[in-house]
Amino acid sequence: MELKSIGFLKEVVKIFRIKEMGAIIGFIGIFILFSILSSEFISWENLLSTFTMAAELGLVAIGITMLMISGEFDLSVGSTFAVVPMVLALSINNGINPLLGFILGITLGAFIGYLNGIITLKTGIPSFITTLGSMMFFRGILLAITGGFPITLLEHIPFLKYFGGTCIGDLRYSGIWFILFSIIFAFILERTQFGNWTFATGGNLVASKALGINTDRVKLINFIICSLMAGFAGITTFSRFKIIDPTLGQGMELEAIASAVIGGTFLSGGYGSIIGTFLGAFMIGMIRSGLVLAGAPAYWYRAFIGVILVIAAIINIKIRKKIAG
């Protein structure tokens, strides 16, 4: 009897030690809060549309989580989120094969990540500055090309359905992609050599180098992953609205970083989780729809996110100090 209860206690402690504990508690808390505030919140309809919104943000946040764990930063994801689908939209409108347009857009995404990475790593300036620069640069390019006007898709392109169209009921394909990429990157991060090196590079750069890890390469790959994911997320949003607004993705970088931090990832690198980010992005989505359903003016959304972000960061630190191990 005694032994059994000790074994049970050990299991409980083990559960509490998992990295995502803070995110799970927060997630449940917010879910309960909005369920009480609005009866419509827990309807399937609302949860699925909330999840779709969360997915488009979450795809960006997955990439940024990888990069943040390796010890770098990307503020340009919002601009990448807009210019990649812009290339796709312009290609289609100019009669280029949509698939080729898709490849062109994704290639541009990879290129932006490569550029961010190379400049940061070769010159030694902080990625915060490099990517702030590229955020403004690519937003400027977008504005220059569009003249500040939205680009509307001129024809119906069937294959876009698989990025932003509905799949089962209100669930959109972007949600499926979000789940799929979350699993893939959680696997890469926790169970491959590259994931191990990503943690090590962000956790202790000097030690990683001394152990023969090519830390520059690890970071560069994560810069590229981050931009690719941002570009892909942009395509899912574009596929839903069929329009590129020049302000598309503005402010997204901060929401994506917030998703990662709410999910337990450190701004300083070396610690984090994709599952946590998944929950973090979903949480932000719930706050957005929950506030609307609860009848709060939409303006409160940002304020609420800000408070949650700070609380999450504090909880993360406390939890980690006490029971992480």
Partner 1 sequence: MINNLLVEMKNIKKNFGRVQALRGVDFNVGKKEIVGLLGDNGAGKSTLIKILVGYEKADEGEIYFEGKKVSFNSPKEAREMGIETVYQDLALVNLLPIWRNFFLGREIVKGITLSIEEMKRITSEYLKEIGIWVRSPDETVFFLSGGERQAIAIARAMYFGAKLLILDEPTAALSVGETRKVLEHINNVREKGLSVIFISHNIYHVYEVADRLVILEKGIKVGDFKKEDVTPQEIMNIIAKAAGVILKEV
* Residues engaged in binding partner 1 (CB under 8 A): 191-193, 196-197, 199-200, 203-204, 206-208, 210-213, 270-271, 324-325
187/300 with CB nearer partner 1: 187
Report in angstroms the alpha-carbon separations of 86 from 202, 243, 262: 33, 9, 30
Q: Output the smallest distance, CB 202 to partner 1, in A.
A: 8
Q: What is the DSSP string of 70-120?
A: TT---STHHHHHHHHHHHHHHHHHTT--HHHHHHHHHHHHHHHHHHHHHHH
Nearest to partner 1 of 60, 200 (CB atom): 200
* Smallest distance from partner 1 to CB 301, Å: 33
First vs last C-alpha separation in the chain:
27
Q: Pick the closer one to partner 1 by CB: 231 or 263.
A: 263
3-class DSSP state of 140? helix
- Shortest distance in whole angstroms from residue 21 CB to partner 1: 14
CB nearer to partner 1: pick between 51 and 271 = 271
Q: Please, what is the minimum distance in Å from the beta carbon of residue 198 to partner 1?
A: 11
Judged by CB, which is closer to partner 1: 122, or 321?
321
Least separation in angstroms between residue 207's CB and partner 1 is 5
Query: How many other C-beta atoms can be found within 10 angstroms of the C-beta atom of residue 78?
Result: 24
Residue 179 burial (10 A CB sphere; 0-12, 13-18, 19+): middle
From the list 132, 250, 253, 270, the residue with the least C-alpha distance to 199 is 270
